[in-house]
Amino acid sequence: MELTSDALVNSLLALGAAALLATLWLWPRLARQRPLPVLGRIGLLTVTQVSVLAVLALSVNNSFGFYTSWDDLFSPGGAKLALTSNENHHGGTPVSDAPIQPTDEGDLESITDLPKGPPEEVGKIQSVRVTGKETGLSDQMFVYLPPEYFDPKLSMVRFPVLLALSGYPGTTQHLVKELALPQTAWELRKAGKLTPSIIVMARPAVVAPRNTECVDVPGGPRTETWFAKDVPDALRATYRTSRSPSSWGVLGYSTGGSCALRLAMRFPDVFGNGTGMHGDFKVVEDQFTGDSLFGGDRALADRSDLSWRLQNLPAPNLSLMVISTRKETDYPDTVKFVDLAEKVAATNPQFKVESLYLDDGGHNFDSWVRELPAALEWMSARLTWN
What is the model's pLDDT at position 56? Answer: 74
Cβ-based neighbours of 95, under 8 Å, separated by 6 or more: 85, 86, 88
What is the model's pLDDT at position 78? Answer: 40
What is the model's pLDDT at position 31? Answer: 72
Task: Work out the pLDDT band at 77, boundaries 50, 70, 90.
Answer: very low
Q: Which amino acid is at 130?
A: V
What is the model's pLDDT at position 289? Answer: 86
| Distance separating alpha carbons of residues 319 and 274, to the nearest angstrom | 6
% of the chain surpassing 90 pLDDT: 66
Other CB atoms within a 10 A radius of the CB of residue 161 amount to 24
- DSSP letters, 174-229, are HHHHTS-HHHHHHHHHHTT-S---EEEEE-S-TTTTS--TT-B-TTS-BHHHIIII
What is the model's pLDDT at position 81? Answer: 29
67 compared with 326, residue with greater pLDDT = 326
| Distance separating alpha carbons of residues 123 and 338, to the nearest angstrom | 36
Q: Which amino acid is at 113?
A: D
3-state class (DSSP) for residue 17: helix
Is residue 115 within 8 Å of 122, Cβ to Cβ?
yes
Pairing of strands 161-165, 198-202: parallel
Q: What is the distance of C-alpha 257 from the center of its chain?
A: 10
| Distance separating alpha carbons of residues 372 and 118, to the nearest angstrom | 26
| Distance separating alpha carbons of residues 293 and 286, to the nearest angstrom | 10
* pLDDT tens-place string over residues 207-227: 988 899 999 999 999 999 999
Structural domain boundaries in the chain = 6-64, 77-380
* pLDDT tens-place string over residues 90-142: 333 334 578 999 999 998 988 989 989 999 999 999 999 999 999 999 999 99
| Distance separating alpha carbons of residues 319 and 305, to the nearest angstrom | 18
What is the model's pLDDT at position 233? Answer: 97
Is residue 59 within 8 Å of 162, Cβ to Cβ?
no
Instruction: HSE, CB side, 13 Å, CA atoms: give it for residue 344.
Output: 26
- DSSP letters, 105-155, are TT-GGG---S--S-HHHH-EEEEEEEE-TTT--EEEEEEEE-GGGG-GGGT
| Distance separating alpha carbons of residues 355 and 98, to the nearest angstrom | 39
The residues with which 159 forms a beta bridge, in sequence order, are 241
| Distance separating alpha carbons of residues 149 and 145, to the nearest angstrom | 6
Tell me whether residue 213 is exposed, middle or buried, using C-beta atoms within 10 angstroms of its C-beta: 0 to 12, 13 to 18, 19 or more.
buried
Average pLDDT, stretch 253-278?
97
Q: Say what the alpha-carbon torsion angle 340, 285, 256, 230 is, to the nearest 10 degrees.
A: 100
The residues with which 86 forms a beta bridge, in sequence order, are 95
Q: Domain 77-380 carries which CATH code?
A: 3.40.50.1820
* pLDDT tens-place string over residues 166-184: 999 889 999 999 999 999 9
| Distance separating alpha carbons of residues 131 and 256, to the nearest angstrom | 20
| Distance separating alpha carbons of residues 298 and 267, to the nearest angstrom | 20
What is the model's pLDDT at position 196? Answer: 95
* pLDDT tens-place string over residues 237-247: 999 999 999 99
Tell me whether residue 156 is exposed, middle or buried, using C-beta atoms within 10 angstroms of its C-beta: 0 to 12, 13 to 18, 19 or more.
exposed
What is the model's pLDDT at position 71? Answer: 58
The residues with which 134 forms a beta bridge, in sequence order, are none
Tell me whether residue 130 is exposed, middle or buried, using C-beta atoms within 10 angstroms of its C-beta: 0 to 12, 13 to 18, 19 or more.
buried
Of 373, 362, 12, 379, nearest to 186 by C-alpha is 373
